[in-house]
Structure 1
Amino acid sequence: MEDSLTRPSSPAGLSCYMAVSQLLGLTVIAMTGAWMGQYRGGIAWESALQFNVHPLCMVIGMVFLQGDALLVYRVFRNETKRSVKILHGLLHAFALVIALVGVIAVFDYHRKKGFADMYSLHSWCGIAAFSLYFIQGYLQ
């Protein structure tokens, strides 16, 4: 009866999988930053480099932080549920804010350059993914 009251232990190898996932995530962020810095001229808000904010923010927000927010319940299974929920919510909020900066950057860049918005499948799929992510977070 006592065993049913204790929390289950972490699956074997979870810490290795987590270390690999974090290493891969940070590598993707570093590679995107290097791509923007070395091959696209850098990142700036008030110049032609404003567009470069978009890919970096999307990788940080919608890939890395959102993924970490999803993994929080598995990693911190021995912590109190309240603290895990707070961390989960904070990571999702940071992911949303950073992704929103990326969306604003690309729309502002298009407006300044006189380009049409939402002209590609990438644009439509991206705005759909961001909108559904926002709606899902708002409804919870």
Structure 2
Amino acid sequence: MESHAGLAATPRALPYYVAFSQLLGLIAVATTGAWLGLYRGGIAWQGVLQFNVHPLCMVIGLIFLQGDALLVYRVFRNETKRTTKVLHGLLHVFAFIIALVGLVAVFDYHRKKGYADLYSLHSWCGILAFVLYFVQGQV
């Protein structure tokens, strides 16, 4: 048996796994958007609907785009390393920016309404996740 050092075998089912992961990601984004539209009144940057920007941005940024960024090296394994690194980095930057918009939306909403910030375990875990995500990119 010949050994191909450094070359990992690509599973034959990889395209199906990737398609399934993309489908799940799009379902998560669509479900969140439908929930916000049908049951929470939609999204807007002004008024009471500003809070709704937060969950949509978090799902798009920290679930869908971050997941896609992680898949880049597996999906585009035959492309040049530079190309995959640039795509990987761009997806992470977009995920960070969209998540930052979600954080700004919720903090701005709390400020306008006079609510306290960081009063729940959810908010502290979210800030920790966001900070760790940012620090990871700096290393």
- In the TM superposition, residue 4 of structure 1 has moved relative to its aligned partner by 3.8
Tell me how many residue pairs correspond in the alignment.
138
**Corresponding position of 2:97:** 97
Q: Which runs of 5+ in 1 are unaligned?
A: none
1:52-91 correspondence to structure 2 within 5 Å: 52-91=52-91
Counterpart secondary structure, 2:79: coil
Name the residue aligned to 1:120: 120
CA distance in 2, matches of 1:138, 1:109: 29
| C-alpha distance in structure 1 between counterparts of 2:6 and 2:108, whole Å | 52
User: Distance in 2 between the 1:3 and 1:132 partners?
Assistant: 38
TM-score, length-scaled by structure 2: 0.94
Runs of 4+ in 1 over 3 A off after TM superposition: 2-9
Task: Tell me the alpha carbon deviations over residues 33-52 of structure 1, each in whole angstroms, 9 at most, x when there is no partner.
Answer: 00001100000001110000
CA shift for structure 1 position 8? 4.8
Structure 1 partner of 2:13: 13
TM-score (norm 1): 0.94
- Is the CA contact (8 Å cut-off) linking 1:60 and 1:98 kept in structure 2? yes
Which residues of structure 2 form unaligned runs of 5+?
Answer: none
- Between the two proteins, what is the percent identity of the paired residues? 71
Report Cα offsets for 1:39-67 as digits up to 9, x if no partner. 00000001110000000000000000001
Check conservation: 1:7, 1:78, Cα contact below 8 A: no
